Amino acid sequence: MYSYCSDAAFIKRAQGLTALDCAKAGEAVGAAIGRGRVGVACRNDEHSKACADAVCAGLRVSGVNAWSIGASFEAQLSFLVPFSSLNAGVFVCAGEGTVSIFGENGLSVSAALGRRAEDFMQAELSPAPSCGRLFDMSAISMLYRDELMRCVPYGVTDCAVLSSDSAVSALINDCMRTSSNGRALTLRINRRGTSLSAYTEETGVVPFVKLIALCGMYELESGRDISVPYDAPAFLDELARSYGRTAYRYLSAPSDGSDNVARRLAARQFWSRDALFTAAKLACILEEKNMTFPELYSLLPPFFVYSTTAALALPPDYLDEFEGESFSFGRDGANGFVLVEKRGKTHISPLGDGRVRLTAQSLDEETARELCAEAMEFISSRPK
């Protein structure tokens, strides 16, 4: 009935959410966290708003204070959790049947906390000795706008910023002063505010991972450490070392505290995980360097990242370290396994529920896709 996915850290009901589901989800999240304040936000539709109210009720019954933020989008809640020193955040999307959980740094929660929430969803819980309080915090969303305004360039930006979500589109265009002439650069933000692509006639579509790499290059050149997702381009590590800095990496669902430093830095480095802040960062870089986007993009080393998910019949623990003539395969810390060969490397990360994510990095798309396919064939054929 319910499932926890470590890749996105959510509790999901395939048949859609009901008030009972959401109250149970709130109670489970509250029991898993066990203390403090939890922010609750939702999509801007009546079904999601009603479900968010039920989540708040469940949180209160578990003894946790509920901050009702109201209609929002995922990236905004991810910002508000660390900015407001909340213990966690919960985002409700009734249409997708999901209740997403954000940790205290605004990133996905640990695997242990996510599984505890899933276990509590299945259990009969007793009310806490004292009921948590409900706070109407709908006005807190202005903090996000204020911080975004601080990050946009002072001058006029020659670009168009689009999004399928009207709230995201209105917010970013209200903050960024875009010109009506030319608009050689088009930026597109997804409805969650968590992914961005750029387009010019010269470059074609540039995906989010490369835009993150551009921002990361700028930060390292400016003498600052960076924190990026675990599957961010590998060249950032070498570049960081050349500047005497560090490129920290955080996991999607850590099983231990090995990425705590990376997560603390990411909690205040919004451009690496929030598409609206990434758009603002890119605009600032272009203005400061007095460059066009194709000129800036040409500074990026050639690479391609391809990611896909697949089912794995057996638990990934059966994959013992294996050495081959042209490649190596083994454990990659807490994030799963890695297969390395001359053409590139492929990370294999267990997601739970019998699935794995394969992320390949190579010099071109065709090779990256081939690496993913070959990695899946390899791990599926290993002795059981």
Residue 189 lies in a domain: yes
Residues 277 and 309 in one domain: no
Residue 77 lies in a domain: yes
Residue 76 lies in a domain: yes
Residues 377 and 266 in one domain: no
Residues 69 and 129 in one domain: yes
Q: In the structure, what pLDDT confidence band is assigned to residue 382 with cuts at 50, 70 and 90? A: low
Q: In the structure, what pLDDT confidence band is assigned to residue 9 with cuts at 50, 70 and 90? A: very low
Count: domains in the chain: 3
Residues 278 and 293 in one domain: yes
Q: Which structural domain range is residue 248 located in?
A: 152-297
Residue 145 lies in a domain: no
CATH no. for residue 215? 3.40.120
Residue 160 lies in a domain: yes
pLDDT score for 46: 94
Residues 293 and 312 in one domain: no
* Contact by Cβ (8 Å): 246, 373: no
pLDDT one-digit tens code per residue, 235-285: 888 889 988 999 998 877 777 777 889 999 998 899 998 999 999 999 999
Residues 11 and 131 in one domain: yes
pLDDT score for 377: 77
pLDDT higher at 380 or 52: 52
Q: Does residue 147 register a pLDDT over 90?
A: yes
pLDDT score for 326: 40
Residues 284 and 359 in one domain: no
Residues 113 and 236 in one domain: no
CATH no. for residue 31? 3.40.120.10
Q: Any idea which of 164-173, 175-184, 349-358 has the lowest mean pLDDT? A: 175-184
Tell me the three-class secondary structure of the chain, residue by residue: CEEEECCCCEEEECCCCCHHHHHHHHHHHHHHHCCCEEEEEECCCHHHHHHHHHHHHHHHHCCCEEEEEEECCHHHHHHHHHHCCCCEEEEEECCCCEEEEECCCCCECCHHHHHHHHHHHHCCCCCCCCCCCEEECHHHHHHHHHHHHHHCCCCCECEEEEECCHHHHHHHHHHCCECCCCCCEEEEECCCCCCEEEEECCCEEECHHHHHHHHHHHHHHCCCCEEEECCCCCHHHHHHHHCCCCEEEECCCCCCCCCHHHHHHHCCCHHHCCHHHHHHHHHHHHHHHCCCHHHHHCCCCCCEEEEEEEECCCCHHHCCCEECCCEEEEECHHHCEEEEECCEEEEEEEEECCEEEEEEEECCHHHHHHHHHHHHHHHHHCCC
pLDDT higher at 286 or 1: 286
Single residue among 251, 272, 297 that ends a domain in this structure: 297
Single residue among 81, 107, 140 that ends a domain in this structure: 140
Task: Tell me how far the alpha carbon of residue 197 is from its chain's centroid.
Answer: 15
Residues 12 and 136 in one domain: yes
Single residue among 140, 161, 176 that ends a domain in this structure: 140
Residue 147 lies in a domain: no
pLDDT score for 239: 87
Residue 32 lies in a domain: yes
Residues 124 and 175 in one domain: no
Residues 76 and 175 in one domain: no
Residues 276 and 167 in one domain: yes
pLDDT score for 256: 73
pLDDT score for 45: 93
Choose the most confident range, by mean pLDDT, from 6-10, 115-119, 244-248. Answer: 244-248
Q: In the structure, what pLDDT confidence band is assigned to residue 98 with cuts at 50, 70 and 90? A: confident
pLDDT score for 5: 52
Residue 213 lies in a domain: yes
